[in-house]
Chain A
């Protein structure tokens, strides 16, 4: 097996001989993935109820089953989707995105900025360099904001978890409304002419051009990069995920049915507002929030309120505000929070009204 040891040396002629073996291993991994996914439900039914002797109807049995079943299900979904998205992302870069956004017409530009925010690979601590790189190179401020809002709001982890918890129809609604928030917020910020509230050093910065040898990687290299990406994301989010599922399981097993319906049901007009405000100081990512939100929803919190809470936690986090403060002066930062928060509120009320 030559494929297991990954050779990193750049050969003059890119060696593609490992690609066949890479595809074979990928196929085997995909088969195993499907088998485990199918066996997950029956396995925990058997382990919790027959092996451990806990009744389906008991609170403990229900909670324990929820915890293990959800951990495996979410782990599998995350691993699979992050891998697929990471492979796709080896075809696109931030530099390419900036080229695509430069000199676009208004409408096309904003929609493209939102879509690229989802598709372009960059970690959240790169938000500031990306902001400087875009704005200083002449991408309009509003479009840059659209890009930066869409990226954390509509990411693959969030979409997978929403689909796993609420179904693909709700996930599609989530993506559509998340992108709309990003586009509308960017257009509003662009229209308001807020360029003077960007820290002056941003416009004084001379942006260099990056020249790196960009020979296209082989499939083997793409797969290796994607596998590293899965490992790094899972390593980063698993504590949040387990805590989220743990709280979710507790609520699932112990909170009385319709416990939250009295306070946060569709009839309470302030529920969405409270959810959004609560979400801002809470720092977590989609992975930790969604299992919690799923359990809250099961106990009577309206769907719009649940999703608004989740969007607020991932899109308006305090640490990101602290980072953005380096390039945005307080007034612009406040407008940013206000515009995005209003968008999330609107989505929450809309979902509650139509579903």
Chain B
């Protein structure tokens, strides 16, 4: 499972990246969330509201920061 955070590098994006990593750690996954700040790439996903979260090339949310618990259940649903 590949987790990517899209955003301009502001505080919101870093919060989301931290929480995603916490959630991944919670699930014992050996991967970590990658942060992409390239505007062209962000636009390519159709994202206008940052931060956004992409799991395996699929945008799962944009424009808000979910809790760690919500991320855990999101990732767990994809893992199986």
- Interface positions of A (Cβ within 8 A of B): 8-9, 93-95, 98, 121-123, 125-126, 128-130, 132-134, 136, 201, 204-212, 225, 228, 323, 326-327
By a CB distance below 8 angstroms, the chain A residues around B61 are 212
Closest CB-CB distance, A7 to chain B, in whole Å?
Answer: 10
Q: What are 22 A-B pairs at a CB distance below 8 A? A: A8-B67, A9-B73, A94-B49, A121-B63, A122-B63, A125-B10, A126-B8, A126-B49, A129-B39, A129-B43, A129-B47, A129-B48, A132-B40, A132-B42, A207-B44, A209-B46, A210-B47, A210-B62, A212-B62, A323-B8, A326-B39, A327-B39
How many residues from B make CB contacts under 8 Å with A? 27
Q: Which of B10, B59, B69 contacts A210 (CB 8 A)?
A: B59
Establish whether residues B12 and A8, one from each chain, have CB atoms under 8 Å apart when the complex forms. no
B26-50 to A contact mask, C-beta < 8 Å, 1/0: 0000000000000110111111111
Establish whether residues B44 and A95, one from each chain, have CB atoms under 8 Å apart when the complex forms. no
By a CB distance below 8 angstroms, the chain A residues around B49 are 93-94, 121-123, 126, 129-130
Closest CB-CB distance, B47 to chain A, in whole Å?
Answer: 6
Establish whether residues B12 and A205, one from each chain, have CB atoms under 8 Å apart when the complex forms. no
Closest CB-CB distance, A179 to chain B, in whole Å?
Answer: 22
By a CB distance below 8 angstroms, the chain A residues around B39 are 128-129, 132, 201, 205, 326-327
Establish whether residues B43 and A132, one from each chain, have CB atoms under 8 Å apart when the complex forms. yes
Establish whether residues B48 and A212, one from each chain, have CB atoms under 8 Å apart when the complex forms. no
* Nearest B-chain residue to A199, judged by Cβ: B39
Establish whether residues A206 and B50, one from each chain, have CB atoms under 8 Å apart when the complex forms. no
With A9-B73, A207-B44, A210-B45 known as contacts, the answer to whether A129 contacts B50 (CB < 8 A) is yes
By a CB distance below 8 angstroms, the chain B residues around A136 are 43
Cα A93 to Cα B48 with chains together (Å): 10
By a CB distance below 8 angstroms, the chain A residues around B42 are 129, 132
By a CB distance below 8 angstroms, the chain A residues around B40 are 132, 201, 204-205
By a CB distance below 8 angstroms, the chain B residues around A134 are 48
